[in-house]
């Protein structure tokens, strides 16, 4: 890094918190099947198809905050249940309620997440969060995971109507902390959203590549780590130049 780090931003889903959407759907399918005499496997298959269709139609609008928090999951479950001849709105309500509850239960931190956040805070490093998703939903995840008080700035795409990797969301985060892009790092697991987006505005992009995948692009400057703990070493390299 050519300039000392003055702030570190993180992505949320898949970076600090495990993505449990698939597990939540499975649990919901099992519960619905047991309660209503349906096939859990059939529900899962129908949900996969409905999710694909609904995401293509509404996914980006949902992340931009143009739809209500439960609009997308409600449409998905409505389409799922309709394939079983179940068009009772009360059953859709039940499915969404179960799904939300089960999804909340899957919001668990990666083993090292809290350790890394607290170490950076102890080192007086300003921290920010830049995440795609409805604002209310993403902030609820922070509360569920117990890290809602760890950040100086929290920005969800639903706050701005701008989705990563669009540069505006990164620039807005930098402006809120008053930090030049070259003095900030953004840490995320999505190469397309986090790494491409952060690098496009001149931030130091750090790819959390836990599965040792091959980078999809070679023309995007970035650092790479297998664990968030490596972020601490990266920041430590700059500690002397920050005068702390």
| pLDDT single digits (tens) 11-28 | 999 999 998 888 999 999
Q: How far apart are the first and last CA of the chain?
A: 18
| pLDDT single digits (tens) 131-146 | 999 999 899 999 989 9
Residue 243 has pLDDT above 70, yes or no: no
Identify the pLDDT of residue 87: 85
Structure tokens at 80: 């799922």
Domains of the chain, earliest start first: 7-18+108-242 (3.40.50.1000), 21-105 (1.10.150)
Residue with tokens 């100086």: 152
Under the banding of pLDDT at 50, 70 and 90, the label for residue 172 is: very high
pTM, entire model: 0.90
């Amino acid at each position: 890094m050519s300039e000392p780090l003055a702030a570190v931003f993180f992505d949320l889903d898949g970076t600090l918190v495990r993505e449990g959407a698939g597990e939540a759907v499975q649990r919901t399918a099992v519960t619905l099947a047991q309660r209503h005499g349906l096939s859990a496997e059939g529900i899962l298959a129908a949900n996969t198809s409905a999710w694909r269709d609904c995401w293509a139609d509404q996914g980006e609008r949902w992340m931009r905050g143009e739809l209500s928090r439960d609009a997308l999951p409600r449409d998905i479950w409505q389409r799922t249940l309709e394939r079983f001849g179940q068009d009772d709105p009360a059953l859709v309500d039940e499915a969404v309620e179960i799904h939300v509850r089960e999804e909340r239960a899957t919001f668990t931190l990666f083993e090292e997440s809290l350790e890394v956040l607290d170490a950076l805070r102890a080192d007086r490093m300003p921290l920010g969060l830049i995440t795609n998703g409805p604002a209310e939903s993403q902030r609820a995840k922070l509360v569920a995971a117990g890290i809602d008080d760890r950040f100086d700035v929290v920005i969800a795409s639903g706050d701005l109507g701008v989705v990563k990797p669009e540069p505006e969301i990164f620039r807005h985060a930098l402006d809120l902390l008053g930090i030049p892009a070259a003095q900030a790092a953004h840490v995320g697991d999505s190469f397309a959203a986090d790494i491409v987006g952060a690098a496009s505005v001149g931030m130091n992009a750090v790819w959390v590549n836990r599965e040792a995948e091959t980078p999809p692009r070679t023309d995007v400057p970035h650092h790479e780590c297998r664990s968030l703990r490596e972020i601490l070493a990266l920041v430590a390299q700059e500690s002397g130049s920050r005068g702390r």
